[in-house]
Amino acid sequence: MKVMSQQEPVRILVACGTAIATATYVAEKVRKILDKYKIRGEVYQAKAQEVNYFIKMLGRVHLILATTFVPVEDKSIPVLNAMPFLTGIGEDVLEKKIVSILAAKK
């Protein structure tokens, strides 16, 4: 996959039930992907119930990764299941999806 570069950093929101352990682990995985592909980005963690608040607060979110159901009001924001980062099954597929989505949002 090719390396991306862009002016505006992408904003990624990681959501789980409590925004503590699981979201922290997934957020770290996402930061490593951003570094690997030289994608300028910001990763935020939120409780699933706070996702819409974070979207409004940040102004623009390019991608949401969630370990649980998130009731996203803005249907234009892609939401990916982050469970492969926790189980290790399908991690490479999820990584490719993330990079593909972010490349399209560039």
For residue 15, give the amino acid letter. Answer: A
- Active-site residue, from 10, 12, 15, 16: 16
Tell me how far apart the alpha carbons of residues 37 and 103 are, in angstroms, rounded to a whole number: 10
95 in catalytic set: no
Task: Give the residue numbers annotated as catalytic, written as ranges.
Answer: 16
